[in-house]
Structure 1
Amino acid sequence: MSYLKNIHDTYNLLTKSEKKVADFVVSSQKKILHSTMQDIKRATMVGDATIIRFCQKMGYTGFSDLKIDIAKEGFSAPQRSEDSFIDTIEHKLMDAIHDTRALANEEHLKQAVTMIHQAKRVFIFGVGSSGITALDMESRFLRSGLQVKAIIDSHYQAMNAALFDEHDLIIALSLTGKTQDVFDSLQIAKKNGAKIIAISNYVLSPIAQLGDVILQTAIEEYLLNGGSLSGKVSQIFAIDLLITYYELTYDINGIQMREKVARSVINKQIN
């Protein structure tokens, strides 16, 4: 049964406060996937218990269970049609690049590369799929002659953040901008004076709001397509813009740096 029909059928059984939650969910629809309990409480002026009771009357164990059910309705698996699924995937990846390009802000890139150049140490924070992208970014920086450190374990992020100061810089990767572990570590680092470059879809997200500068990606992720290749492509494109701008700004000889790296690993290949 559709969650909207479920709400409709149960609406008259709800209390006045629970109806406020129901109205918010219906009006928000898929946007609710990016909402938290705090968002609902602020919008409806009800307490946690009311939200939980509403979800349980709908047949869900809690708010997360409701969000998963909404995500299932919005999820569309690849279907065979007149258009080849190969073309569909190609278009998604191309759209990821085009949409991220449309959001690219050269002034923000300029601020970001200045922060990288001035930092004594540069770290990249990301977990899950964004953690894998953080490792890619570390490798990409290395080929430009810049040694940075990707930290993808949340405990190590917090431990390092506790020792950061105003000379340190964090590049934080999170498509949603709501990754709790990364957010917690960034708060610690921020209190210690560290600078932050946030790479995220949403400029008003908690992680983006901690950033001294924001580089925006352009892929909206839902619960069931988290870690999508489109999201990774969007992140990598934004990262490549940042690193290329850094190389151009500080006249870094990319070919010379790449030659050094290539010579260091050339004998690692099997003849």
Structure 2
Amino acid sequence: MYFYELLKKNRHQLNSTEEDVLQSLLNQADVIKSLTIREIATQNYTVPNTVTRLCQKLGFKGFSDFREALYLTTHEKENVITLTTLDEQIVRTKQLINQDVIDKIITQIHQAHRIVFFAVGLSRFPAEELHERLKILGINSHTFIDPHVMKHNAKLLTKNDLAIALSVSGTTETVLSATTIASVKGATTLSITGFSTNPIAALTDYQLYGMISPASIEGIDTADRFSLHYLTNLLFTEYLAAYYQQ
């Protein structure tokens, strides 16, 4: 925040005319990069030397230095807003969590003879992470890359097993098909999806929802799985708290 540090330190040195010009510059921060010193002077019924003098009083070498610092500061603010969007996803995801449901899922993880994950695309990453962490605890856990192998293993499930399906849309065909098979076979099922009424969630015994910001590039899904990672991490930490010492 180099720009605002200089303003705080030196702004008291400006006279009323310079203060008016400064306020005009701050109000045009979004387009400051395209403005010239003559345009600023004309807008404020003054001369370029006045603009230069106020920039120097504030601690900048001149108008170009001032303009660059204000431009960079404006873009720093935009980056903060982007990060805040992820924070909001987590806050809203937390609001959707029912602790009673979490407790029941943790019990199912502990009691399951076998746990399988159904996920494809980018949703495989939170699935893989939870899978690997469960394996460290000696839990019989499996993930699949090939959709045919996924469906085949779904057919092998019993009422003693747990199937966990991850899908942002809740409509992913391969995951939906495998979850349907698991449900028919009597396995306990859990869905972790984006917040929506969706067919995968409708199939499962337990549901967890994450807030997702949809994104795609040329029709390819690029939405972050931040909230899905949050939910799988929550399940693992809750499991550790409940059962690891035992």
TM-score, normalised via structure 2 length: 0.64
The correspondence of residues 214-233 of structure 1 with structure 2, limited to 5 A, is: 214-224=207-217, 226-229=221-224, 232-233=225-226
Moved more, 210-219 or 136-145: 136-145
Q: Which amino acid aligns with 1:89?
A: T
Residue by residue over 1:13-32, the C-alpha shift from the partner in whole angstroms, topping out at 9 and shown as x without a partner, is xxxxxxxxxxxxxxxxxxxx
The residue number in structure 2 matching 1:87 is 80
TM-aligned CA deviation for residue 179 of structure 1: 0.5
Q: For 2:245 and 2:236, how far apart are their aligned partners in 1?
A: 13
Q: Which residue of the partner structure matches residue 106 of structure 2? A: 113
- Deviation per CA, 1:139-167, whole angstroms, max 9, x where unpaired? 23234443411223311111111111111
Counterpart of 1:82, as a letter, is: T
Shift of the 143–97 alpha-carbon distance from structure 1 to 2, 3 Å rule, reads: farther
> Unaligned regions of 5+ residues in structure 1, if any?
1-79, 255-271
- SS of aligned partner of 1:152: coil
Output one character per residue of 1:62-96: Cα deviation in whole Å (capped at 9) or x when no partner: xxxxxxxxxxxxxxxxxx99242432332122122
Q: Give, in whole Å, the separation in 2 of the partners of 1:204 and 1:219.
A: 14
In structure 2, relative to structure 1, the CA distance for the partners of 1:141 and 1:227 (3 Å cut) is farther
Secondary structure at the aligned position of 1:82 is classed as helix
- Which residue is 2:199 aligned to? 206
Alignment of 1:41-52 (within 5 A): none
Q: Does 1:159 align with 2:113?
A: no
1:18-58, CA deviations, whole angstroms, 9 ceiling, x for partnerless residues?
xxxxxxxxxxxxxxxxxxxxxxxxxxxxxxxxxxxxxxxxx
Contact 1:125 1:152 in 2 (8 A): no
The answer to whether the 8 Å contact 2:113/2:161 transfers is yes
1:149 aligns with 2:142: yes
5+ unaligned residues in a row in structure 2: which ranges?
Answer: 1-71
Contact 1:169–1:194 under 8 Å retained in 2: yes
Partner letter of residue 200 of structure 1? T
The count of aligned residue pairs is: 172
Q: Distance in 2 between matches of 1:142 and 1:100?
A: 26
SS in 1 for 2:183: helix
2:125 matches 1:132: yes
Q: Distance in 2 between matches of 1:82 and 1:186?
A: 47
Residue number in structure 1 paired with 2:229: 236
- The letter of the residue matching 1:163 is L
**Which one of 170, 179, 186 corresponds to residue 186 of structure 1?**
179
Cα deviation for residue 223 of structure 1 reads: 4.4
Give distance in 2, aligned partners of 1:226 and 1:102.
25
Report the Cα distance in structure 1 between the residues aligned to 2:175 and 2:211, rounded to whole angstroms.
20
CA separation in 2, counterparts of 1:128 and 1:102? 26
How far apart, CA to CA, are the structure 1 residues paired with 2:202 and 2:153?
Answer: 21
- Structure of larger gyration radius: 2
Structure 2: which amino acid aligns with 1:91? T
* Identical counterparts, % of pairs: 30
Q: 1:165 is aligned with what amino acid? A: T
Counterpart mapping for 1:21-32 below 5 A: none
| 1:98 is the counterpart of 2:68 | no
RMSD (Å), alpha carbons: 2.2
Q: For 1:244, give the aligned amino acid.
A: T
